[in-house]
Structure 1
Amino acid sequence: MSQFRRRAFTLIELLVVIAIIAILIGLLLPAVQKVREAAARMSCQNNLKQFGLAIHNYANTNDNKFPATRVTVGGDAKFRAWTPLALPYVEQDNVAKQWNFTVKWNQGTNLPVSQTSFKLFKCPSAPDSRRQGTYGALGLGDYGTMNAVRRRFYTANSIPNFPVAGTAAGDEANGAMAKVTDTPIVGVTDGTSNTILLAEDAGRPNLFQKGKDLGTNTADGHGWADPDGVGISLDGVQANLVTTGGTCFINCTNDSEVYAFHSGGTNVLMGDGSVRFIREGISAATFAALVTASAGDIPGDF
């Protein structure tokens, strides 16, 4: 009976097989990452939809007004943010009952409540690991109101006709959730479908610029309950990403500007409760028109 000798793989054959496997993995990983990011982006959009329902439900029981971004009490313009008002409407009624509306957001029992993390307040695309901020490890907050557009944004981007209607101190054109005053829904005369309520300002307190963590913290706005962290007054930044009043305004810096960890743009919540994805390449004039609530600057196709 003949005996057959099994032939082993040569070293070259093994290397070829390994190379083929490496190529296949290299081709597969980007696809997996794209699917994962698509799922994260959808989850982020769902968070904003939940906030949209919460804000409208709040308005329905409060004279049909959108809440102000922050509340002034006793001369303190940063006494409390809008976010504690939303808690009962996002199935966090037990936590809402712990909030003391008679004291400042970072005092008494409000501080430990502010240090509570909620899945709804964090975009899944943003990093989980964050540094501690001024008041310790505050609960993460990756979304903020678009409360105004500053005059210097118009100047830096050569946008004519700074709107007179809906201005605050002549320096800012108000959004649908202004800094200190509640806004009647009927007062959003530019149309709720044309006006942004919330946008992403993700990653804080870590300071990010163009996708890079600089290893330090943003100047303020370190949690979901921090009045400095729940609203954006659109400024834009210059090429150095520092100077205010600039031409770079989406995904440039998360220091109180619109910033997301999605490729090419950011999710926003519109005043009618819909969620849109805004591309980084949108014109400054169109984006400004999307922020203002009653300036008469209706945006075109976006």
Structure 2
Amino acid sequence: MTTKYSTRGGFSLVELMVVLAVIGVLVALLLPAVQQARETSRRVACTNNMKQLSLAMHVYHDTFNVFPYREGGSGQHQHNGGTLAPYQRQSGFVGLLPYIDQSAAANEVRMFGNTKTPWDDFQPWTISFNALLCPSSPRHVSNDLIADANYTFCAGDSFDTESLDPRGIFGLVKHSTMADITDGTSNTIALSEHGFPTSPRDRFNVNYGSDPATPAECALTFDPVNGYSNPIHAPGSRWTDGGSAFSAMNTCLAPNSAQCAYSNHDAQDGFYTASSYHPGGVMATFADGSVRFISETIDAGNQGATSVASGPSPYGVWGAMGSKSGGEYTPGSE
């Protein structure tokens, strides 16, 4: 009687290391593709949100023959430390609520919102609407109870964002009309994006009290290591608030550049720059309803120039897209 011994084959250490190395290479090759696919999906969702907001603005215009203000409303409006009656500081999104399928919130605002400031403890203000949030952006660093918004109204190509006569479509207690957009609706930006700040050193914050005269001076206030000297995380917070730091953008600095506010107040003039977490640029909605991706390398003209009150924009193609009646030639215009 003989005894047979069987041996079970196995991987040697070298073979196991080779297998793990191959798996690591495959993961490294596939991960960027997976991330790109996810970002593509998020960008599509963001685009759909902006199209919905564009449609809402057009329905609003069809109803009232004007676009909503960016900053206004009934009640008292706190403006640069004073009062400009009979207005309030509610954002244009408040007026758009019925047109983005938020009738319940709109009705509550209609009944009780006239006496509420955008920072009051008021239940509709705390509602987070998917139509106002871009999936590409992480959570906001803000700790207040008011819900956020990634989308922002274009005030034009000037630092004068708290203006009764803005260079762009949206200003302080200003209802622009289609007829005001003499540069062409396909050439004029209505909305863009604000990426949420995620840390005190984030460039998506706004630097308060820096008072720069030009976009170039504003850009110099941001240190890539230490951030701003006086960073405030207002951009993107309080979807209810029409103050410039919350709801305005202008086409002075190229997308994803620095942001600067005059004085230490969130409803002051300044350079409020479009920003996003989409690689390489931002989404923008034009007055004709189209949504396009704007590269952060877009021509932004003379960054050492001060803003103008009339005539062509000094800030190149990007500046021309912000002004509604600058008379500039832009690519694709007739």
Stretches of structure 1 that go unaligned for 5 or more consecutive residues are 153-166, 237-248
Contact 1:147 1:179 in 2 (8 A): no
> What residue number does 1:250 align with?
255
The alignment covers a number of residue pairs equal to: 270
Give the Å deviation of 1:122. Answer: 0.8
Give the Å deviation of 1:115. Answer: 1.7
249-258 or 22-31, which deviates more: 249-258
Contact 2:72 2:90 in 1 (8 A): yes
Counterpart of 2:323 in structure 1: which amino acid?
T
Counterpart of 2:170 in structure 1: which amino acid?
M
> What residue number does 1:296 align with?
327
Q: Tell me, what secondary structure is at the counterpart of 2:174?
A: coil
Aligned pair partner of 1:194 in 168, 187, 190: 187
Contact 1:69 1:180 in 2 (8 A): yes
Aligned pair partner of 2:286 in 270, 275, 280: 270
Instruction: Provide the TM-score with structure 1 as the length reference.
Output: 0.79
How is 1:167-182 mapped onto 2 (pairs within 5 angstroms)?
A: 174-182=167-175
Give the number of the structure whose residues are more often strand, by fraction: 1
Contact 1:142 1:204 in 2 (8 A): no
23-32 or 77-86, which deviates more: 77-86
Q: Tell me, what secondary structure is at the counterpart of 1:131?
A: coil
Question: CA, structure 1 residues 108+23, in 2 after alignment: closer, same or farther (shift >3 Å)?
Answer: closer
Give the Å deviation of 1:105. Answer: 2.9
Distance 1:5 1:127 in 2: 55
Counterpart of 2:330 in structure 1: which amino acid?
P
Counterpart of 1:16 in structure 2: which amino acid?
V
Distance 1:86 1:37 in 2: 28
Question: CA, structure 1 residues 4+129, in 2 after alignment: closer, same or farther (shift >3 Å)?
Answer: farther
Aligned pair partner of 1:233 in 250, 269, 282: 250
> What residue number does 1:91 align with?
101
Counterpart of 1:296 in structure 2: which amino acid?
G
Stretches of structure 2 that go unaligned for 5 or more consecutive residues are 80-87, 206-223, 261-271, 301-315
Distance 1:210 1:130 in 2: 11
How is 1:62-81 mapped onto 2 (pairs within 5 angstroms)?
A: 62-63=64-65, 65-71=66-72, 73-77=75-79, 79-81=89-91
Give the Å deviation of 1:151. Answer: 6.1
Give the Å deviation of 1:112. Answer: 2.7
Give the Å deviation of 1:126. Answer: 0.2
| Alpha-carbon RMSD | 3.0
Instruction: Provide the TM-score with structure 2 as the length reference.
Output: 0.72
Contact 2:159 2:250 in 1 (8 A): no
Question: CA, structure 1 residues 221+260, in 2 after alignment: closer, same or farther (shift >3 Å)?
Answer: closer
Give the Å deviation of 1:148. Answer: 2.1
Distance 1:98 1:11 in 2: 68
Deviations 1:182-210, CA, capped at 9 Å, x for gaps: 01111111111110000001215855327
> What residue number does 2:24 align with?
22
Aligned pair partner of 1:36 in 30, 35, 38: 38
Contact 1:140 1:204 in 2 (8 A): no
Distance 1:254 1:203 in 2: 13
Distance 2:234 2:119 in 1: 20
Aligned pair partner of 1:122 in 115, 128, 133: 133
Counterpart of 1:294 in structure 2: which amino acid?
S
